[in-house]
Structure 1
Amino acid sequence: MDNTLMIGLSRQMALRQAMDVVANNIANANTAGFKVESLLIDNETAPTAQQDDGPTNLQFVEAWGMGRDFRQGELNVTGRPLDVGIEGQGFFAVTVNGAEQYTRDGRFRLDQTGQLTAHDGAPVLDAASRAPIMLNPSAQATTITDNGTVMQDGVAMGTIGVFEVANLAGLSKQGNGRYVQTDNSDGRNEPQAALSPVMHQGFVEASNVQPIIEMTDMMTIMRSYQSVSKFIEQAEDISRRAVERLGQV
């Protein structure tokens, strides 16, 4: 295939991936704790076919990763006693099939056994023991202090853990607004309990997606895709005319 077409097609493939990312951001604009994502794109150098003149290398477009903006979203008031929002850095920890996952979504509830869980039933982990937090479903009053200590009728039942991740780039998305630490082969990147976390009872962190910016990015991607399509059509037309002229010689 002609080098011009290959370059154009590589750009189109990257733009389609970027469009999927932007569409996912917009779809999660109202998802608690969601962090906006962006496609990371770079140039990939490849040699051309052997020729006597012209460039010796071509620059193709390559999508090599996903960037995430972990800045805090707005804390919205819900008034629910088991909703918790983190102010500052860190993640709540839950356990799924025995593995720890990390999230900013603080929409908690009690299951039938009195265990504090995420909205989908995953147990929330204690800061010190990293074990599930057991509460009394029949307690008259439940209060969560700024450091995450859960008080029921004046008795401390446990402390909701906020864990800090040293290398945010090592987090891998798992769905449901959760991440796992993949860059921990030597144990040095194990998330650690925050020393002075700040939490707010009755609040939930909103997504940090800015819909207007995402819509602007979507329109920019669409225009870029159309431009590349026109570029490919023109290249094909030039090739077709060259073949026709050769046939007339």
Structure 2
Amino acid sequence: MDKLIYTAASGAQRVMEAQALRANNLANVDSNGFRADLELVQAKQISNTRVLSQMGSAGVSASKGELAPTGRALDLAIFDQGLFAVEANGQEAYTRSGQFELDANGQMRIDGRVAVGVEGPIVVPEHKEIFVGDDGMVSITPAGGGIIEEVGQLKLVNPDFDTLLKGDDGLLRLKDGTVAAMDPEVSLVSGFLESSNVDAVTELVASMDLSRQFEVQIKLMKSAETLAKSGNRLLGNI
């Protein structure tokens, strides 16, 4: 009976963690460039006769979202595979979100974080027009007109998704703590944003299935309690 209740409790805990993961995916269905977390369940052997379930390190979906036109020069989307590099808490991290902004000093940022350039942060001076090439090169037409000037190139990387881990801030980092190298093969397009790659229908169906699994685990715990009470009554009558 103790084995039953601990097994059921382990299953219920695993389901609750999976529900939280699915809920986070659904909450970000409209977040540009969001990469869905994947559920990973592992079996943990306690003894020769007991195996409990537990959530492992969640993987990240590498599937692509849809590209939506915006017409804004600093809205950037990556074709196929690749990531933008940003600075987060003094470390380099990666994202597919391409909604760039210029701060008061002209520094390029993504979601408030400094965008990493090939030669460091990119600072854009006063300008009439701004352009971003498919290789991430940022160019401007000076405010007073004249020849187009290059002001920096965005760092674009393409590490294997199996080597990445998503942090609590939603950014991706290499599991070994190193920095990804610039990949010249990564290509982007200006005037578009990539949508989240979360499939809302799939996540909803999975959430409903998890709810049913949780109900089963609760019933098993109640059954274990009933069996324990029955056993105690039998022992009390001996």
**TM-score (normalised: structure 1):** 0.87
Q: Which amino acid aligns with 1:245?
A: L
For 2:114, the equivalent position in structure 1 comes to 123
Deviation at 1:165, TM superposition (A): 1.7
Give the corresponding residue for 1:239.
228
Please name the residue that 1:207 is paired with: 196
Residue type of the partner of 1:156? E
Structure 1: distance between partners of 2:162 and 2:95: 12
Alignment match of 1:173 (pick from 167, 184, 197): 167
Distance 2:233 2:88 in 1: 64
- Aligned ranges for residues 1-249 of structure 1 at < 5 Å? 2-47=2-47, 56-120=48-112, 122-127=113-118, 129=119, 131-137=120-126, 139-153=127-141, 154-166=148-160, 168-175=162-169, 177-184=170-177, 190-249=179-238
Q: What is the distance in 2 between the residues matched to 1:26 and 1:172? A: 16
Q: Is the 8 A contact 2:138 2:150 kept in 1?
A: yes
What letter is aligned with 1:163?
V
Change (3 A) 1:82 1:37: same
Which residue identity does 2:39 align to in structure 1?
L
Q: Is the 8 A contact 1:174 1:180 kept in 2?
A: no
The unaligned stretches of length 5 or more in structure 2 are: 142-147
More displaced 10-residue stretch of structure 1: 209-218 or 37-46: 37-46
For 1:58 and 1:132, locate their aligned partners in 2 and report how far apart those are by CA, in whole Å: 54
* Number of residue equivalences: 232
Identity %: 27
Structure 1 Cα separation of the partners of residues 68 and 229 of structure 2: 60
CA deviation map 1:106-144 (0-9, x unaligned): 110111111111131x221223x2x0112123x111111
Residue ranges of structure 1 left out of the alignment (5+ in a row) = 48-55
Structure 1 position 174, deviation (Å): 4.1
- SS of 1:192's partner is coil
What amino acid is aligned across from residue 31 of structure 1 in structure 2? S
Normalised to the residue count of structure 2, the TM-score between the two structures is 0.91
Deviation of the 1:167 alpha carbon: 5.6
Is this contact kept in 1: 2:92–2:179, CA < 8 A?
no
Partner SS for 2:206: helix
After superposition, give the CA deviation of every residue in 1:134-167 in whole Å (9 maximum; x if it has no partner). 2123x11111111111121222221122112246
Q: 1:98 to 1:243 in 2, by over 3 A?
A: closer
Q: Is the 8 A contact 1:165 1:190 kept in 2?
A: no
**Which amino acid in the other structure matches residue 20 of structure 2?**
D
8 Å CA contact 1:108–1:119 kept in 2: the answer is yes
Contact 2:59 2:162 survives alignment (8 Å): no
Aligned residue type for 2:129: A
Task: Give the match's secondary structure for 1:141.
Answer: strand
How far apart are residue 235 of structure 1 and its match?
2.2
Distance 2:164 2:186 in 1: 22
How far apart, in 1, do the equivalents of 2:161 and 2:200 lie?
A: 27
Matched residues in 2 for 1:4 and 1:97: separation? 45
The aligned amino acid for 2:197 is N
CA distance in 2, matches of 1:215, 1:170: 26
Please report how far the alpha carbon of residue 14 of structure 1 lies from its aligned counterpart in structure 2 after TM superposition.
0.4
1:73, CA displacement in angstroms? 1.2
